[in-house]
Structure 1
Amino acid sequence: MKIIISGSSGFVGQNLIQSLSSDTTAVSNISLRKKDWHVYIPASADAIIHLAGKAHDTSNTSSSDEYFDVNRDLTIELFKKFLRSDIRDFFYFSSVKAVADTVDGVLAEDAQPQPLTPYGKSKLEAEQFLLSQTLPLGKRLFIMRPCMIHGPGNKGNLNLLYKVVDKNIPWPLSAFHNQRSFLSIDNLSYIIYKMLTDQSVPSGVYNVADDESLSTNDLVSLIAATLGKKEHLWHISPGFIKSMVKIGDILPLPLNSERLKKLTESYVVSNQKIKTALGVEKLPLSAKEGLIKTILSFKIPK
């Protein structure tokens, strides 16, 4: 196989290059930052995996135009190039945030999209354009909506939680009750490989998540158990916490309203559609197994 990846310098891209490369599969990267990126797209290949995009800025310092220029307009340009080529598959990495910023119950692919942020709106508008186009015979379009992806080398809220537990700092948000879906990079790599090699998987929109969801309190307990430490869960009034984090919206503190939302909201995502398409009952790693692998990677000295 011949695979082209945009955004290959990121966490997901680096892992996909490693997992997909083999004696029979050549993986190359393209940088869409170059003005002449068009000339680097080959006339034929098995797939383009489009990862490049502007991530959600939790500090809210980015302009709306930046999201639409990159996440929508650049995707449209690349897809038009794909349509004119002999490349078979196009993977667009969107996000569950293209559908909903908060979830009541379980998020499935048929939910009515109502994104609230420029990030989510730009991803959705890219999706809508792609889905409006007529695919030539033999081509496939996959719109991937992953939830929070993690794995060795990943940074973000998992790393923040790790540091809190590792330093024996009490977790002050245990009064918030939630359930969240996660996605290990190993499960994502498995899914992408199966889709590439199984021609029976139909074009469409696919949520991507691990099989089980966990609460943030479960995650804190899992980190503590993995590190051989005692968990410290503090039950502080959610109302008091919400009033205090407003200071973090003004000053550069570790906790602001956006981060509090990410750490305490419920966001459960169904992965049944993609498992049915692949003909699998379970993904290779359970949610806990994947998280333990990520947690252990934080212990390795940099």
Structure 2
Amino acid sequence: MSLALKVMVTGAGGFVGGALVEYLRGQAGVDVLRCVRDGDAGPDDFVYDLLGKTPVPSLQGIDVIVHAAARVHVMHAECDPLPAFRAANVEGTLRLAEAAAASGVRRFVFVSSIAVNGNATPIDRPFTASDNPAPHDPYGVSKFEAELALQDLAERTAMEVVIVRPTLVYGPGAAGNVQQMLKWLRRGVPLPLAGINNRRSFVSLHNLVDFLALCVSHSAAVGEVFLVSDEESVSTPRLLSALARGLGRGPRLFWVPEALLRGLAAAVGKRGWAERLYGSLVVDISKNASLLGWSPPQSFEAGIKITVDPSVRNSVS
């Protein structure tokens, strides 16, 4: 009888990590171990703090680590957030990875970010996994530096490294722009976004965890960098319309010149927020199909339905 593959997921109390634990527990031959922050741990959980407030737990006997824990948010009081991002996302990641390599962990799957590639693309020129990284913010810089440190560790040790850069993740319980849009739509707020002609790649939570689960064991994933998104990219009006349909209503969109909207956003210090609404960020995931035989199993429409109403999870695909 073959032994189960022991997989530890860090950030298991979070949005992506928690969903991955649930998904892997449905896979035959996988023994899933949760790793969380101190204070969130149950009796069977591992505890690890990215800032070194707790020691690295014993990793003996673990075959694979999927590292989904990260510092994501910027505290407004910080004048220079980069040192804090580096402390968690670079130093905290490498401390865990070095201990993993020393303990004989076979593979380390790192959940990075599309922010490593950059924050925008032309509609007709998507990011690819082979592009030169060009992060534009401290979070993206810290994720790129962590990737470099892990690739160097893989060259010095026997541990395999796989790097996955998701686009913006949506799903039930997600924070960020999608939830803000849902709030607007539920309140019936008229939105001046009808004239936006952009394209953005998103990834449903189900598609992301399905891909991460594949990277846990696929031999061709070793040493590779992957971008992951849904099959199709969508415009902001298309996203709003899909969310509104899930709520059983139509979006209240009207047209205002994009240049005027951008100018107003810049005037009130919301330039980055406006870029996420108006700009394009498209990725090419063809490498995932050609190398791993993977394509997103969940459609955009199905993912949006579950985001709006998690109770339909078992009735859509």
Distance 2:177 2:245 in 1: 18
Distance 1:70 1:114 in 2: 20
Shift, 1:289, TM fit? 1.6
What SS does structure 2 have at the residue aligned with 1:120? Answer: helix
Shift, 1:87, TM fit? 0.9
* Correspondences of 1:248-287 after superposition (within 5 Å): 248-249=268-269, 256-280=270-294, 282-287=295-300
In structure 2, the partner of 1:4 is 8
CA-atom RMSD in angstroms: 2.2
Correspondence 1:123 to 2:136? no
* Correspondences of 1:232-251 after superposition (within 5 Å): 232-249=252-269
Contact 2:194/2:237 (8 A) holds in 1:
yes
Consecutive unaligned residues of structure 1, counting only runs of 5 or more, are 250-255
In structure 2, the partner of 1:67 is 85
The code of the aligned residue for 2:111 comes to F
Closer, same or farther: CA 66–10 of 1 in aligned 2, 3 Å: same
Distance 1:176 1:272 in 2: 27
Match of residue 25, structure 2, among 21, 37, 41: 21
Correspondence 1:98 to 2:116? yes
Shift, 1:58, TM fit? 8.8
Correspondence 1:77 to 2:95? yes
What SS does structure 1 have at the residue aligned with 2:249? Answer: coil
Instruction: Summarize deviations over 1:46-70 as a string: whole Å, max 9, x none.
Output: 2111112111439684622101111
Shift, 1:241, TM fit? 1.6
Instruction: Summarize deviations over 1:49-95 as a string: whole Å, max 9, x none.
Output: 11121114396846221011111111121221122121111011111
Contact 2:110/2:164 (8 A) holds in 1:
yes
Contact 1:54/1:67 (8 A) holds in 2:
yes
Closer, same or farther: CA 16–57 of 1 in aligned 2, 3 Å: same
Contact 1:180/1:267 (8 A) holds in 2:
yes
In the superposition, the TM-score normalised over structure 1's length comes to 0.88
Correspondence 1:141 to 2:145? no
Closer, same or farther: CA 12–27 of 1 in aligned 2, 3 Å: same
Contact 2:116/2:141 (8 A) holds in 1:
yes
Seq. identity, %: 26
In structure 2, the partner of 1:293 is 306
Shift, 1:109, TM fit? 0.7
Q: Taking CA–CA contacts closer than 8 Å with sequence separation of 6 or more, which of the two structures ends up with the larger relative contact order? A: 1
